[in-house]
Structure 1
Amino acid sequence: MQITRSSIDTVKGPADWFTGDVYIDAVAAAPAPSRVSANLVHFMPGARTHWHRHPLGQTVFVTEGVGLCQRRGGPIEVIRPGDRVLFEAGEEHWHGAAPHRLMVHVAINESDSDHDVVHWLTPVTDEEYAAAPAVG
């Protein structure tokens, strides 16, 4: 058993991965041979990831607020606390907060044999984001 005391600072999500204000807290990063990591990600209203894909997929578990997610070519979906979203391996997608609501989720990822977890792509445009359904 290993206990890691909370000593890692919250980090601001980099602008080349996110649009808007996003804050990340590391949850799990087990040493090899484990390849699983998890982060608690806080999206301020309107904040979102850029388009991206994960070589081994990604699971997102919403803990707070109201969010949005979309796979390339699909509709924008509204996600709420308790919802789990599985993005398939290699599936291009984005996720983030609704325009006037914050959203917090746990992102669970596995690195591939090359230690890659994510491949970042282009930003989600304001026009793409504005196509979201109304959030009530």
Structure 2
Amino acid sequence: MIFLYQPKLEKDIRCPLEYGLDLFGGKWKSRIICVLAEQKVLRYSILRREMTNITDAVLASALKELIADGIIQRRQYNEIPLRVEYSLTQKGLSVVPILRGICRWAGAYHKNTGTATLPQCKKCDYGEKTE
């Protein structure tokens, strides 16, 4: 029996910006979307490895929310061993240019001094200045 994530409280979203930030905001949801945009289709273990520094509980919860919101699709193959793959839906793909735009904007104002840049971040051209 599969149970989908059910939030404890009703969301109080009053404008489109709040809706968007609820769907893809935060540290992990945007990273998951970017990793799947780069890799197309991933199994859970590979997605977790690509994410770096995320716990199983947090990844599972974020995936459930993204699936419930129609951003990610989960495809299960009835094989032995069981195979499950995650990919972006059309709705999820439509978010990618928005996240890349935010990344470019942030890159103009935030100088990343660390060497731990995620590989998918290089697709954003975040080093370019925005006018």
Q: TM-score range by the shorter chain?
A: under 0.3
Task: Return the structure number with greater relative CO, CA threshold 8 A, min gap 6.
Answer: 1
Larger strand share, 1 or 2: 1
TM-score (norm 1): 0.24
Larger helix share, 1 or 2: 2
Question: Which protein has the larger Cα radius of gyration, Structure 1 or Structure 2?
Answer: 2
TM-score (norm 2): 0.25
